[in-house]
A and B are shown apart, each in its own frame.
Chain A
Amino acid sequence: MWSFSKIADLVHQSLNHTFSPTLATIIEMVIVGVCVIGLFAVLGLVLVIMERKVSAWIQIRLGPNRVGPKGMFQSLADTVKLLVKEGMTPSGADKFLFNLAPYIALIVAMLLMAPLAFAKDFQMWDLNIGVLYVSAISSVSVISILMAGWSSNNKYSLMGAMRSGAQIVSYELSAGFSVLSVVVLAGSLNLNTIIQSQADGWWIFKGHIPVMISFVIFIIAVTAETNRAPFDLAEAESELTAGFHTEYSGMKFALFFLAEYVNVFIVCAIGATLFLGGWMPFHIGHWDGFNHVMDYIPSSIWFFGKTFFLIFLIMWFRWTFPRLRIDQLLNLEWKYLLPISLFNILLVTAMAILGWYF
Chain B
Amino acid sequence: MFIVKYIKEVFNAVKSLFVGLRRTGYYFTHHKEIITQQYPDNRDTLNLPERFKGEVVMPHNENNEHRCTGCTACELACPNGTIKVITKFDIGTDGKKKKAIDKLVYHLELCTMCNLCIIACPSDAIVMAQTFEHSVFDRAELTKILNNPGSKIMEGVE
Give A residues with C-beta under 8 Å from B.
54, 57-62, 316-317, 319-321, 336, 340
Contacts and interface: CB of A to CB of B under 8 A. Distances in A.
Nearest to A313: B21
B32 to A, nearest CB: 10
Given A60-B27, A317-B21, A321-B17, 15 more contacts: A57-B27, A57-B31, A58-B24, A58-B27, A59-B27, A60-B31, A60-B35, A60-B36, A61-B35, A61-B36, A62-B36, A316-B25, A316-B28, A320-B20, A320-B23
Given A57-B27, A60-B35, A336 B21 contact: no
A59 B23 CA distance: 10
10 contacts: A58-B27, A58-B28, A60-B27, A60-B34, A60-B35, A60-B36, A316-B21, A320-B20, A320-B24, A340-B10
Q: Please indicate which of the listed interface residues B17, B28, B33, B35 has the most CB atoms of chain A within 10 Å of its own CB.
A: B28
Residues of B in contact with A, size category: 10 to 19
B36 A321 contact: no
B10 to A, nearest CB: 6
Contacts of B28: 54, 57-58, 316
Contacts of A321: 17, 20
Nearest to A319: B24
A336 B27 contact: no
A32 B21 CA distance: 39
Interface of B: 10, 17, 20-21, 23-25, 27-28, 31, 33-36, 38
Nearest to A317: B21
B46 to A, nearest CB: 16
B10 A336 contact: yes
A320 B19 CA distance: 10
A199 B38 CA distance: 50
Contacts of A317: 21
A146 B111 CA distance: 46
Nearest to B10: A336
B123 to A, nearest CB: 42
User: Nearest 5 pairs between A and B by C-beta?
Assistant: A57-B31, A320-B24, A58-B24, A60-B35, A320-B20
Nearest to B35: A60
B42 to A, nearest CB: 12
A337 to B, nearest CB: 10
Contacts of A316: 21, 24-25, 28
Contacts of B20: 320-321
A61 B33 CA distance: 9
A58 B33 CA distance: 11
Nearest to B36: A61
A319 B10 CA distance: 22
B18 to A, nearest CB: 10
A62 B23 CA distance: 18
Contacts of B36: 60-62
A312 B23 CA distance: 16
A58 B20 CA distance: 11
A316 B20 CA distance: 10
A167 B25 CA distance: 28
B134 to A, nearest CB: 25
Contacts of A336: 10
A340 B31 CA distance: 37
A109 B60 CA distance: 68
Contacts of B31: 57, 60
Q: Please indicate which of the listed interface residues A60, A62, A316 has the most CB atoms of chain B within 10 Å of its own CB.
A: A60
B31 to A, nearest CB: 4
